[in-house]
Chains A and B, each alone.
Chain A
């Protein structure tokens, strides 16, 4: 069994902390929440300290923050229906662009790996794709594929392929149609029996892990046309199959999941206040993989854990946040 050791608890937010996001360098962390602030934390000598607090970008809860791949921008989205883009050209972070268009709460935001596309989603059931050119943001697509709130959007680690998770219990995959240059839904992943709260690609982008209010995790595998398993691929589009369901581990809603691109470990954030780490077995068959729970920390937080993210550079380093108002840093070791 692995061990999660608390490195530090970061206090300062007032009320629920919804989301944390690591800077691509792994040296800085951003967090956001109910208090409408974004806090930026840095490692200084032996401990983590608050570096800046960004205020006045949003008039309601900030649901998610995301560093651009270049590390120079932060995008934030809020229940106030807007998206804010922060840059530090003046020496400190300032909100210089606000993106409007969603009808109500914007719940998730994600930069594509190239940094040229930004995706957002909302309770208005739509997913928007914005084209980024220098400091200009233009709406490239409004996708109305889900029948209910869209909870999460995440880009493929290499390609301009987008995945979204929804209150309609499904996950959808979108990509740009080469002929119409519009984003179209190319796959619907249906198997969860309640809201899908979050998802994460593995480092190759060929697999996805999803988490749900149905208290399970699911692993999905992409089968390309002409795959060796002989799985049919209608319309010559890749097909996503659920190849593993992890049930019986979580006792309440699973709010977030993150698949580590460095170690292949999966961390989950649950409404039962527990942080869990799963590892794929060494002899796991890719078409029927097996994962085992290698760490379970009860009372990781005193209330619901909303988000846990692996550091992109330091293996085993996790940042988590909770309804209890804290952000915590953990070190996982086998």
Chain B
């Protein structure tokens, strides 16, 4: 039910973040990437299970950057990989998403991390903190990728790169 609700919602949203994959094609013409925010969730109204389910519902339909399947179909994201951690001193929810790259040397792992972050930030309206990690032992450069997908400055800069942004937009677009 929740997922059908999601699909009906419009795709607009404010992009706040981005991420760097490599050093090529990073600079291009920048344009304003601020669109009206729509799709929304009230974090505070939900209990933990419900919140985890909503997060999974947002993530499951993300498309793999290379394959036609979704992250759920490829078992890249899974419900147990979503945890609600101890809140910040001010009571802000801390979400941890662990994902499972398809192959140990998958070069697209950072891009998947980026899609997860951008989609959640766009669709969960309430304030939250997000930490994204690769499932332990599933990737050769695990720590490197974890560091990269959680560096908000790199993410912000990457999402100002039109090429990267286009790829992310394509992956997180909801089918009508």
Tally B residues with Cβ within 8 Å of A.
25
Which of A128-136, A154-162, A238-246, A266-274 lies at the interface?
Answer: A266-274
Within 8 A of B (CB), among A38-78: 59-61, 63
B154 within 8 Å of A (CB atoms): yes
Within 8 A of A (CB), among B80-127: 88-92, 127
Name the distance in Å between A165's Cβ and chain B's nearest Cβ. Answer: 12
Main secondary structure of the interface of A (DSSP, over half): loop
Contact B153 A60 (CB under 8 A): no
B16 within 8 Å of A (CB atoms): yes
Contact B26 A104 (CB under 8 A): yes
A192 within 8 Å of B (CB atoms): no
A298 within 8 Å of B (CB atoms): yes
Contact B92 A79 (CB under 8 A): no
Name the distance in Å between B47's Cβ and chain A's nearest Cβ. Answer: 22
Contact A195 B90 (CB under 8 A): no
Contact B157 A167 (CB under 8 A): no
Contact A79 B160 (CB under 8 A): yes
Contact A274 B89 (CB under 8 A): yes
Name the distance in Å between B30's Cβ and chain A's nearest Cβ. Answer: 4
Within 8 A of B (CB), among A114-138: 123-124
A299 within 8 Å of B (CB atoms): yes
One digit per residue, 1 when the CB lies within 8 angstroms of any chain B CB and 0 when it does not, for chain A 266-288 equals: 00000111100000000000000
B34 within 8 Å of A (CB atoms): yes
A258 within 8 Å of B (CB atoms): no
A149 within 8 Å of B (CB atoms): yes
B151 within 8 Å of A (CB atoms): yes
Main secondary structure of the interface of B (DSSP, over half): loop
Known: A15-B16, A299-B90. A151 touches B23 (CB 8 A): no
- A329 CA to B149 CA in the complex, in Å? 31
Give which listed residue, A60, A104, A273, contacts B30 with CB less than 8 A.
Answer: A60
A81 within 8 Å of B (CB atoms): yes
Within 8 A of A (CB), among B25-83: 26-27, 29-30, 34
One digit per residue, 1 when the CB lies within 8 angstroms of any chain A CB and 0 when it does not, for chain B 124-163 equals: 0001010000000000000000010011111011001000
Known: A61-B160, A104-B27, A167-B151. A323 touches B89 (CB 8 A): no
Give which listed residue, A14, A103, A123, A251, contacts B154 with CB less than 8 A.
Answer: A123
Which chain A residues border B151 with CB–CB below 8 Å? 167, 195, 213
Tally A residues with Cβ within 8 Å of B.
36
Name the distance in Å between B156's Cβ and chain A's nearest Cβ. Answer: 6
- A252 CA to B27 CA in the complex, in Å? 30
Contact B156 A298 (CB under 8 A): no
Which chain A residues border B90 with CB–CB below 8 Å? 272-274, 298-299
Known: A59-B30, A104-B23, A104-B26. A302 touches B129 (CB 8 A): no
Contact B147 A194 (CB under 8 A): yes
Which chain A residues border B160 with CB–CB below 8 Å? 60-61, 79
B14 within 8 Å of A (CB atoms): yes
Name the distance in Å between A287's Cβ and chain B's nearest Cβ. Answer: 32
One digit per residue, 1 when the CB lies within 8 angstroms of any chain B CB and 0 when it does not, for chain A 241-268 equals: 0000000000110000000000000000
Which chain A residues border B26 with CB–CB below 8 Å? 104-105
Which chain A residues border B154 with CB–CB below 8 Å? 123, 149
Contact B88 A80 (CB under 8 A): no
Known: A251-B89, A274-B89, A274-B90. A61 touches B156 (CB 8 A): yes
Which chain B residues border A146 with CB–CB below 8 Å? none
Among B26, B27, B127, B153, which residue has the most Cβ atoms of chain A within 10 A?
Answer: B153
Within 8 A of B (CB), among A1-37: 14-16, 34
Contact B30 A80 (CB under 8 A): yes
Which chain A residues border B88 with CB–CB below 8 Å? 251-252, 272-274, 298
- With both beta carbons as reference points, the residue of chain A lying nearest to B86 in the complex is identified as A251
- With both beta carbons as reference points, the residue of chain B lying nearest to A195 in the complex is identified as B151
Which chain A residues border B147 with CB–CB below 8 Å? 167, 194-195, 213
Which chain A residues border B14 with CB–CB below 8 Å? 15
Contact A79 B127 (CB under 8 A): no
A207 within 8 Å of B (CB atoms): no
Which chain B residues border A105 with CB–CB below 8 Å? 26, 153, 157
Name the distance in Å between A78's Cβ and chain B's nearest Cβ. Answer: 9
A222 within 8 Å of B (CB atoms): no
A188 within 8 Å of B (CB atoms): no
Q: List 11 A-B contacts (CB under 8 A).
A: A16-B156, A34-B16, A61-B156, A79-B160, A107-B153, A123-B20, A123-B154, A167-B147, A274-B90, A298-B89, A299-B90
Interface residues of B (CB under 8 A from A): 14, 16, 20, 23, 26-27, 29-30, 34, 88-92, 127, 129, 147, 150-154, 156-157, 160
Going nearest first, the 3 A-B pairs with the smallest beta carbon separation are: A299-B90, A298-B90, A272-B88
